[in-house]
Chains A and B, each alone.
Chain A
């Protein structure tokens, strides 16, 4: 069984003093897939990645990465992984080319690998500048390049696009997709639902150090639904809009007289924006704007925790 999973963890626990950062994290990432670890700040994403990349020893639980036990065979794990992200970084005093040549040397890869990666990550022009002069996007690309020297079997990316502009973000996304298509297993953490949705085959929602929910992006969206919202011309039109939204979504809409909006959550995956607009129009609601969007991560967690509490109550 283990050989079909690139990452398999059971009951991972990690404490920092009073902070219980991981509380029995279970992960099973099939070989060749992309797993998105999605969670808000402080959920334990970085701790999970640090444990899985041998930087931290778990207090309890066990994990195998690329078929090797984390605690007993860390060296074998290191031979098979690449790490880029919030911490494992490059040397800012060295140029991009020097950094990649250093890591190529340490990994016994040919020097030409550095040139290849500079080319691939569009860093040729900046190759001879110290890395601390790079923009955020260039720096992340260099980080990513440094983690790909030996074409690792499992690539760990900790919030690879946090703080990047949309253009740089797209460049990283393209690279991750390419790697995944070429068969690399990727475990990435993110705070962005959109990122997990775009890249991951499976999403694990992580909350307070444990998996709160897992499934494909489609399953996740089916569980968390989407927000249908209508903005009307006059607040007097709100009740009419509410009737339509209620009928379409099956939930009672929330009205905001100030902003003249009616909004309702729906789990109905067949509801489309054209239909929403058509039905509101047919009911004679003077519509200024309408949207059907996935909930934000905050809203997702609010709902999941609300559900948990409801079950507990």
Chain B
């Protein structure tokens, strides 16, 4: 095995062990979307124009994507903790492959997320949401969710490595729950004031949500939206490529660069 793969697998194992010892953050970030799903689906939904059952089918993909977008928060917390508690400094003094530390974190997160999405899917199924497209498209939807999670995790790792303190990262990370609110994850963007609508349509979460809804056969692609939303699969892949292409190399460099 190459040094990079071997070191990455060691760091990967470390993150899984940490999760076993301190599951609080993971459990919290996986239960929040379920609470949101129930709250929006049964409390707020009926107050909106859409019929209840349709809205819940519309909402489940939105929450799956919002959960994937939490990679920013989790990636940031984890990287900030490691960098301010001295663990990363010890790694930096070891003859390890430089990329393995962030890569191990991102890959462990991917596995955790794949498992962590299951309860949300089950609650969604219980609420009447169904996969209405082909099996192949459904696989594509799950693949896209994980790819988006991977991308947002790298954004988080970069921000966490650049953070001044754990507290600062905590505050900024906490604020990222706003991001899905400025997208079409919870509500259609048609009726938003035009400035807000533009922001929402250029939010990567909107493109990915639209793609996942389309691939699951839950809702059609809205007409006349911004390019990434109007071409949701290509748009989502483009967003992921940009986020990963920018944040991954910067995060690896930031980790490896001595101060």
Q: Which of A55, A91, A107, A146 contacts B14 (CB 8 A)?
A: A91
CB-based contact A55/B7 at 8 Å: no
CB distance from A144 to the nearest CB of B (A): 12
CB-based contact A54/B87 at 8 Å: no
With A55-B259, A81-B93 already in contact, 10 other A-B pairs whose C-beta atoms are closer than 8 Å: A54-B258, A55-B93, A56-B258, A87-B86, A89-B87, A91-B14, A91-B18, A91-B87, A95-B21, A106-B7
Is A275 an interface position by the 8 A CB rule?
no
CB distance from A54 to the nearest CB of B (A): 6
CB distance from A10 to the nearest CB of B (A): 19
CB-based contact B21/A93 at 8 Å: yes
Binary contact readout B82-106 vs A (1 if CB under 8 angstroms, 0 otherwise): 0001110111111110000000000
A88 to chain B: which residues have CB within 8 Å? 86, 89-90, 92-93
Question: How long is the Cα–Cα vector from A45 to B17 in the complex, in angstroms?
Answer: 34
A75 to chain B: which residues have CB within 8 Å? 95
Is B22 an interface position by the 8 A CB rule?
yes
A90 to chain B: which residues have CB within 8 Å? 87, 90
- Please give me the residue from chain A that is nearest to B18 by CB atom: A93
Is A168 an interface position by the 8 A CB rule?
no
CB-based contact B85/A89 at 8 Å: yes
B22 to chain A: which residues have CB within 8 Å? 93
CB-based contact B86/A89 at 8 Å: yes
16 contacts between A and B (CB under 8 A): A55-B93, A57-B258, A78-B95, A83-B90, A87-B86, A88-B86, A88-B92, A88-B93, A89-B87, A93-B17, A98-B17, A103-B94, A106-B7, A106-B10, A106-B91, A130-B21
Q: Which of B7, B85, B89, B93 contacts A78 (CB 8 A)?
A: B93
Is A164 an interface position by the 8 A CB rule?
no
Binary contact readout A75-101 vs B (1 if CB under 8 angstroms, 0 otherwise): 100110101000111111111001000
In the complex with contacts A55-B89, A55-B259, A57-B258, A78-B14 CB distance below 8 A: no
CB-based contact A94/B17 at 8 Å: yes
B91 to chain A: which residues have CB within 8 Å? 106
In the complex with contacts A106-B7, A130-B21, A79-B95 CB distance below 8 A: yes
B21 to chain A: which residues have CB within 8 Å? 93-95, 130
Is B170 an interface position by the 8 A CB rule?
no
Question: How long is the Cα–Cα vector from A87 to B13 in the complex, in angstroms?
Answer: 23
CB distance from A287 to the nearest CB of B (A): 51
Interface residues on B, range: 20 to 34
- Please give me the residue from chain A that is nearest to B9 by CB atom: A105
Within 8 A of A (CB), among B125-153: none
B interface with A by C-beta (< 8 Å): 7, 10, 13-14, 17-18, 21-22, 85-87, 89-96, 258-259
A105 to chain B: which residues have CB within 8 Å? 10, 13
In the complex with contacts A57-B259, A89-B87, A102-B13 CB distance below 8 A: yes
Question: How long is the Cα–Cα vector from A98 to B20 in the complex, in angstroms?
Answer: 12
Question: How long is the Cα–Cα vector from A27 to B93 in the complex, in angstroms?
Answer: 20
- Please give me the residue from chain B that is nearest to A107 by CB atom: B94
Question: How long is the Cα–Cα vector from A55 to B22 in the complex, in angstroms?
Answer: 28
A57 to chain B: which residues have CB within 8 Å? 258-259
CB distance from B160 to the nearest CB of A (A): 16
Question: How long is the Cα–Cα vector from A56 to B96 in the complex, in angstroms?
Answer: 17
Question: How long is the Cα–Cα vector from A56 to B259 in the complex, in angstroms?
Answer: 5
Question: How long is the Cα–Cα vector from A312 to B140 in the complex, in angstroms?
Answer: 77
Nearest 3 Cβ contacts at the A-B interface: A89-B86, A88-B90, A78-B95
Question: How long is the Cα–Cα vector from A76 to B13 in the complex, in angstroms?
Answer: 26
- Please give me the residue from chain B that is nearest to A71 by CB atom: B258
CB-based contact B93/A83 at 8 Å: yes
CB distance from A106 to the nearest CB of B (A): 5
Interface centre among A91, A94, A103, A130 (most CB of B within 10 A): A91
CB distance from B259 to the nearest CB of A (A): 5
Question: How long is the Cα–Cα vector from A117 to B87 in the complex, in angstroms?
Answer: 19
Interface centre among A56, A94, A95 (most CB of B within 10 A): A94
Question: How long is the Cα–Cα vector from A147 to B21 in the complex, in angstroms?
Answer: 23
Question: How long is the Cα–Cα vector from A91 to B105 in the complex, in angstroms?
Answer: 14
CB-based contact B258/A89 at 8 Å: no
CB distance from B92 to the nearest CB of A (A): 6
Is A226 an interface position by the 8 A CB rule?
no
CB distance from A67 to the nearest CB of B (A): 15
CB-based contact A54/B93 at 8 Å: yes
B92 to chain A: which residues have CB within 8 Å? 54-55, 88
CB distance from A17 to the nearest CB of B (A): 12
CB distance from A134 to the nearest CB of B (A): 14
- Please give me the residue from chain A that is nearest to B19 by CB atom: A93
Is A229 an interface position by the 8 A CB rule?
no
Is A261 an interface position by the 8 A CB rule?
no
Interface centre among A54, A55, A81 (most CB of B within 10 A): A55
CB distance from A23 to the nearest CB of B (A): 18
Is A185 an interface position by the 8 A CB rule?
no
Binary contact readout A191-212 vs B (1 if CB under 8 angstroms, 0 otherwise): 0000000000000000000000
